[in-house]
Amino acid sequence: MSINENDCFAEVKKKILINAPIEKVWGYVATSEGIGAWFMPNDMEPIEGKEFILQAGPWGESACKVTEVNPPNRLSFEWGKEWLITFELDAKAGQTELTLIHAGWNEESQTEFGELHTEVRSRMSVGWDGLVLKLKNVVEA
């Protein structure tokens, strides 16, 4: 038995088709201003190894670190101590298919704020539904 089969939940994965070219969508997932327009205020720079802060509202500041930058197709960052957020972009005839992946779920772990992953994962999954739709709306406006 592997750790992935027993200790980790499946990744939260969200796909959406955005009516905009890939370069425009990239600007909204790989810049501080872009991410701030639909997600959270931050000081992110798309540089591998760059540490940054997400202003997580009532949860305070969340330390993050950029782990992968492959313009305009993929950006990943560590969010807090256990999560990995990845944006994958695929050009589709003037549109962009965005896949958001939220990995790092473990049913025996707690978030930095003391909540069990089992309690937080479904809430975050629903939250990402709204956020990727907000991203689509912001980009297409």
Other Cβ atoms closer than 10 A to 21: 16
1: pLDDT confidence band, cut at 50, 70 and 90? very low
Check whether 92 has a pLDDT greater than 50.
yes
Please provide residue 4's backbone torsions phi and psi, each rounded to the nearest 5 degrees. -60, -35
Closest CA to 118 of 4, 1, 2, 9: 9
Q: Which two tokens stand for residue 138?
A: 């912001």
8: pLDDT confidence band, cut at 50, 70 and 90? low
Average pLDDT over residues 112-129: 88
